[in-house]
Structure 1
Amino acid sequence: MSRTEPGRRVIDGRFELVGRLGGGGMGWVWRARDLALHREVAVKEVRPPDPGLAEYDPEGARTLRERVLREARALARVHHPNVVTIHHIVDGGEGTYPWIVMELLTGGSLQDRLDRGRLEPSEAARMGREVLDALRAAHAVGIEHRDVKPANVLLRPDGRPVLTDFGIAAVREATSLTATGSVIGSPDYMAPERVSGKEGGPASDLWSLAMMLYVAVEAHHPLRRDSTLATLAAVLSEDVPPPRQAGPLTGVLTALLVKDPLARPGAEEVDRMLAVAAGQAAPPATGGTPADAAPAF
């Protein structure tokens, strides 16, 4: 980072931070100005929850840095209008945390939209098809998202969804970076097999998509409890109650929100079901199976 004027933060001599857009346990996302190309961008700053991580846990710091670099590389491999575009990465080397420069999306998140009220089933189905298409593009190059949830779906000004935050994506050649014994993902939206410590697969992302759509139309989460442990226990042991306001989405939610990932329909069938629920023309069937979601991991 460089400072060219008092109070003015410029990253890599090029990206001037304008204002903070949001943040979480892994850091902050900033609105920034690209001084070279004269455009606004989003810049993700990694800030570990424990500021002493690098000093007292160098291995943890190294893993965090590698995870951020992996996010950038994962995003760079997926070219799709419903996946956030990465422009640049600033990496100062060992002992530093990278910054990821991405396209700026100004329509808020799906979570922001749901905070104002539930979606109608047809609207949720249309949005679900686009997020599904983003997942299929990621799965096709061997990437699972692993954290599909409303906060990680950003909206363009016209309302079209864009999947972001691939920071814990599982890439086939780099799965060893998942911390042993850690809860990697959002408990509310994790598939049961991932909660139980199994590898999961594309079908696990489809569970998360379905749970997100369930919450979108029902305006509540059916398995959320008062604590993380209680929520994880509910995901593992309790059946998802049938939705009451899903209308034409009921069939796809019921089909996907089952404990056995092998019993869930594949992405191609899910797309057809969502198309029907959205009142759109369903794509022709090609005889796919649940394994059509992506190559086996």
Structure 2
Amino acid sequence: MHKRVIDGRFELVERLGGGGMGLVWRAWDLALHREVALKEVRPPDPSIDEHDPAHARELRARVLREARALARLNHPHVATIHHIVDPGEQGYPWIVMELVTGGSLQDRVQRGPMPPPEAARLGREVLSALRAAHEVGIQHRDVKPANVLLRADGRSVLTDFGIAAMRESTSLTATGSFIGSPEYMAPERINGVEGDPASDLWSLGMMLYVAVEGRHPLRRSTALATLAAVLNQDVPPAERAGVLGPVLGALLVRDPAARPDAATLDGMLAAAESGHLPAPPLPHP
């Protein structure tokens, strides 16, 4: 079978997955003789090029801006971007990234809940990636177990920042499908309030809750019912969280201003990682 080669250099081997932003492929770099991940960026609504070419152009430009900003981060817990293939107006970009082979946090949680100190270590790694991104003005907007990949040595890598480029236009595509993951989305984002990095911290808290409990406290049978639960229902206390309990309690509160800032949160996670019960954060002045 003839394999598809992108940009005369990257031979597509197999499809690894897809999300709101496009498809991810395992590929072979014919120049450097190494495996890479290739992200085929495509809009969730394929008819956008026909119906709204100006918006499609803006989307392409935003994806490229975001990829360049992420490439500058050079952070140990952010997936490394090696190269961008930009076909110009003829199509959407391909982003060439490191291939992370250890599966995702979602795969890990399906094998059973994580011990709280291990989840706290992972939480600190993801938090450090979010802090680096927030400092250069990038919010992730889709922190969830499927977007945290695990390297062979167990260290985690946050991936798939690109949803930000899609989300700002509209949360619902023309075909009515939802962008983002409703069960990990902060209540204020569901209400259309953007621009607060604390929203990513809610998502981190919900992800850690699922990691130690092995289940999601507000997931319902449909996406709409889940959205309603996130908006209207308090998160029940985790039963298996142990030393992580105070962290989850501090993050999963409706008011973004009441969540701990990143530095305080890192201190709380560090205590939990070492097996100590962290002190609750001081109230904001």
Please give the TM-score of this superposition, normalised by the length of structure 2: 0.89
> What letter matches 1:133 in structure 2?
S
**Whole-Å separation in 2 of the counterparts to 1:241 and 1:121:** 17
> Structure 1 25/142 Cα, relative in aligned 2: closer, same or farther at 3 Å?
closer
| Residue 67 of structure 1, CA deviation | 4.1
* 1:14-93 correspondence to structure 2 within 5 Å: 14-93=9-88
| Residue 226 of structure 1, CA deviation | 1.4
- The answer (yes or no) to whether the contact 1:145–1:168 under 8 Å persists in 2 is yes
- The answer (yes or no) to whether the contact 2:100–2:151 under 8 Å persists in 1 is yes
**Whole-Å separation in 2 of the counterparts to 1:162 and 1:218:** 21
- The answer (yes or no) to whether the contact 1:266–1:288 under 8 Å persists in 2 is no
**Whole-Å separation in 2 of the counterparts to 1:42 and 1:218:** 31
Partner residue of 1:151 out of 134, 146, 149: 146
| 1:295 alignment counterpart | none
| Residue 200 of structure 1, CA deviation | 4.0
- The answer (yes or no) to whether the contact 1:109–1:150 under 8 Å persists in 2 is yes
Please give the TM-score of this superposition, normalised by the length of structure 1: 0.86
- The answer (yes or no) to whether the contact 1:124–1:216 under 8 Å persists in 2 is yes
> What letter matches 1:179 in structure 2?
S
| Residue 88 of structure 1, CA deviation | 0.6
The alignment's C-alpha RMSD in Å is 2.5
User: Unpaired runs of 5+ in structure 1?
Assistant: 1-5, 292-297
Partner residue of 2:136 out of 138, 141, 160: 141
> Structure 1 211/290 Cα, relative in aligned 2: closer, same or farther at 3 Å?
farther
> What letter matches 2:251 in structure 1?
L
How big is each residue's C-alpha offset from its partner over 1:193-228, in whole Å with a ceiling of 9 and x where there is no partner?
111111241111111000000001111111111111
How many aligned residue pairs are there?
Answer: 277
- The answer (yes or no) to whether the contact 2:20–2:179 under 8 Å persists in 1 is no
| 2:175 alignment counterpart | none
Partner residue of 2:273 out of 265, 275, 278: 278
Q: Secondary structure of 1:157's partner?
A: coil
User: Unpaired runs of 5+ in structure 2?
Assistant: 173-177
> Structure 1 126/18 Cα, relative in aligned 2: closer, same or farther at 3 Å?
same
- The answer (yes or no) to whether the contact 1:67–1:168 under 8 Å persists in 2 is no
| Residue 60 of structure 1, CA deviation | 4.8
Partner residue of 1:256 out of 248, 251, 259: 251
Bigger shift: 67-76 or 220-229?
Answer: 67-76
Q: Secondary structure of 2:73's partner?
A: coil
